């Protein structure tokens, strides 16, 4: 179970320089078809952090079409993960851990972008590494390690097991964004998380993150291992997932997701999932914005879209679907040498 202490740095072996803690935030302005990202990954053992801000309007098939991007590596790592300001102008304050975060940013290169956003979780954060919350956590005896999840998920490199953690929270994001001279009110729902683990970043990951958020009373989030079949993302199984409904949270026991992409970007998706109560949730989505987010981490690309989701009962919500691939995973399947 996640506590307020899990928002800060976690105990770690001082010699483990690969130890990494991350905080991403996804936000949107659906009426303007804007999708935005904030990302921080700190390696406190090395004393460095990377941080990326990317904001785009509409469908951007190429990275150069993104409306604003500020990605910086080798920033000094903060001495804590609760209240800090990075050298790129991003300030993060966990105002009421573990549910309420405030993010402020002002671009130091000019007035092209600034924002002030508050994230308020609508439920107790879901502990992906607690079998009492994630019914899919226990692996059958002898099941092979799935490299697509990354060591921050699989907790193992070779024969060695390492501590790790990951919590996800669906929340309401409110505030203001100014993008290249135009100011937008932000009033959206999406999922943010915090992860901590040893990370080798070997770029072989292939996992989809799907959030379908419909308001303060209802939302769904899941992580799904992927394969590429004839250039199309195919979701296989379910690493974890949950539904929050009227203040209660239930783990998912199964999910089936079909999708269609253009230039790797998710453009449509059809979802059916079942929670621990046996309740089935069905919804479909179409992209209203999207872009290849390729500088939040040098070894990965997140092909992400802002989806307009609609449940089978007609309820509508807007939130992100991201297919995250390691660059080596893609090269091993799509490069000229691989195709030979």
What is the pLDDT, as a whole number, of residue 147? Answer: 46
What is the pLDDT, as a whole number, of residue 139? Answer: 53
Ranges in the chain, pLDDT < 50? 140-148, 150-159
Range of 21's domain? 4-339
What is the pLDDT, as a whole number, of residue 339? Answer: 84
The pTM of this model reads: 0.93
Over residues 149-186, the pLDDT tens digits come to 544 444 444 445 567 899 999 999 999 999 999 999 99
Nearest to 201 by CA among 147, 161, 240: 147
Over residues 280-333, the pLDDT tens digits come to 999 999 999 999 999 999 999 999 999 999 999 999 999 999 999 999 999 999
What is the pLDDT, as a whole number, of residue 141? Answer: 45
**Rounded CA separation 17/63 (Å):** 31
Tokens of 174: 């409110």
Alpha carbon of 205 to those of 154, 226, 332: distances in Å?
11, 9, 12
What is the pLDDT, as a whole number, of residue 201? Answer: 85
What is the pLDDT, as a whole number, of residue 161? Answer: 57
Tokens of 97: 């851990």
What is the pLDDT, as a whole number, of residue 64? Answer: 96
248-262/265-275 β-pairing: antiparallel
Name, in order, each residue with C-beta under 8 angstroms of 166's C-beta and a sequence gap of 6 or more.
Answer: 127, 128, 129, 152, 153, 193, 194, 195, 196, 197
Asked if 44 and 9 count as a contact pair (C-beta separation under 8 A), the reply is: yes
Place of tokens 């799904």: 224
Work out the widest C-alpha separation in the chain, in whole angstroms: 57
Beta-ladder partners of 271: 257, 283
Tokens of 272: 């059916």
User: What is the number of structural domains in the chain?
Assistant: 1
**Rounded CA separation 69/36 (Å):** 10
**Rounded CA separation 71/302 (Å):** 14
Place of tokens 């954060």: 125
Over residues 177-188, the pLDDT tens digits come to 999 999 999 999
What is the pLDDT, as a whole number, of residue 164? Answer: 86
């Amino acid at each position: 179970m996640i506590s307020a202490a899990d928002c800060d740095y976690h105990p770690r072996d001082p010699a483990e320089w690969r130890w990494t803690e991350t905080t991403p935030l996804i936000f949107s302005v659906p009426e303007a078809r804007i999708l935005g990202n904030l990302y921080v990954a700190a390696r406190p053992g090395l004393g460095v952090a990377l941080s990326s801000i990317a904001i785009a309007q509409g469908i951007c098939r190429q990275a150069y079409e993104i409306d604003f991007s500020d990605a910086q590596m080798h920033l000094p790592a903060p001495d804590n993960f609760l209240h800090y300001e990075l050298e790129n102008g991003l300030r993060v304050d966990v105002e009421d851990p573990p549910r309420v975060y405030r993010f402020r940013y002002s671009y130091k290169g000019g007035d092209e972008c600034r924002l002030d956003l508050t994230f308020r979780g609508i439920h107790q954060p879901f502990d992906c590494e607690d079998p009492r919350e994630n019914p899919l956590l226990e692996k059958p005896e002898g099941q092979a390690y799935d490299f697509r999840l990354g060591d921050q998920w699989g907790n193992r490199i070779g024969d060695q097991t390492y501590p790790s953690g990951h919590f996800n929270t669906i929340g309401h994001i409110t505030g203001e964004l100014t993008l290249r001279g135009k100011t937008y009110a932000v009033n959206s729902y999406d999922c943010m998380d915090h992860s901590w683990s040893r990370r080798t970043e070997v770029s072989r990951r292939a996992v989809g993150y799907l959030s379908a958020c419909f308001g303060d009373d209802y939302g769904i989030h899941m992580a799904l291992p992927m394969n590429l079949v004839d250039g199309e993302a195919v979701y296989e199984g379910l690493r974890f997932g949950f539904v929050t409904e009227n203040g209660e949270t239930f783990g998912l026991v199964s999910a089936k997701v079909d999708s269609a992409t253009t230039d790797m970007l998710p453009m449509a998706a059809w979802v059916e999932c079942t929670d621990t109560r046996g309740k089935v949730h069905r919804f479909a989505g179409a992209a209203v914005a999207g872009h290849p987010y390729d500088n939040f981490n040098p070894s990965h690309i997140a092909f992400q879209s802002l989806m307009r989701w609609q449940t089978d009962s007609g309820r509508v919500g807007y939130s992100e679907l991201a297919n995250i691939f390691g660059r080596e995973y893609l090269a091993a399947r799509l490069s000229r040498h691989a195709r030979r």
